[in-house]
Amino acid sequence: MTLRLMGANPCVTLYDGDRATAFASVWRVDWSLRGNGNALVLGTPGRTRIFGADTALAAWLGEEFNRHLAAVVATVGWSEPEVVAAPVAFDLDLAQGFRATAADVSVAIAGPIERYLTRNDEYDLGGVPHVLSTVWMPCEEAAISVGGAPLPGGPRVDLKAPMSSAFIADAEVWCTADHPRK
């Protein structure tokens, strides 16, 4: 296996009824093959923006990871991203939740309802198998704002499962798998 990235990746997909209205993926990269730093990926129907002080790292995260995630492609889609040079403030409290800001965008995720240690040895990123391990925490609440205005919708939450389209992923480790795709 080749270690590619270690860090955190809180995410939320907002829904207004059955329609996905937005997706946000915020990265805290503690170490990666491309360096470290923070990035924010925001997807809305027909538009993808990627923010980061290190635009090369931010673009790499979007292109290598987010564009291959089913939650992005199946809900709001992936368009040619606009990469914006802007610092990303990342504030994570594992007991309470998460907040991030970049340029005119803010993301808040709160109310962890459970904590899981997960590992997927066959995570497909664009045809390349990866191993992903993470501490995954589904959350009850989430919001995304652009220019001070909240985007419509909220997370899908199932307290019985418990599952949510808003979650915090910490202690996240991505590696390429050491076996070919069948």
* pLDDT in the model for residue 40: 98
Residue 176 within a domain: no
Confidence check: pLDDT of 73 > 80: no
Domain assignment of residue 157, yes or no: yes
Q: Is 130 a domain residue?
A: no
Arithmetic mean of pLDDT, 16-43: 96
Is 6 a member of any domain? yes
pTM here? 0.95
The pLDDT value recorded for residue 4 is 97
**Tally of domains in the chain:** 1
Q: Is the pLDDT of residue 15 over 80?
A: yes
Residue % of the chain over a pLDDT of 90: 90
Do the beta carbons of residue 99 and residue 106 sit within 8 Å? yes
DSSP state of 87: -
Residue 179 lies in a domain: no
In a domain? residue 165:
yes
User: What is the predicted pLDDT for the residue at 182?
Assistant: 46
Mapped onto helix, strand or coil, the DSSP state of residue 15 is strand
Express each pLDDT in 98-122 by its tens digit.
999 999 999 999 999 999 999 999 9
Q: How confident is the model at residue 179 (pLDDT cuts 50, 70, 90)?
A: low
pLDDT confidence bin for 39, thresholds 50/70/90:
very high
Cα distance between residue 93 and residue 172, in whole Å:
16
Which of 79-83, 101-105, 129-133, 178-182 is predicted with the least confidence, judged by mean pLDDT? 178-182
Residue scoring higher pLDDT (180 or 149):
149
Q: Which domain holds residue 9?
A: 2-118+136-170
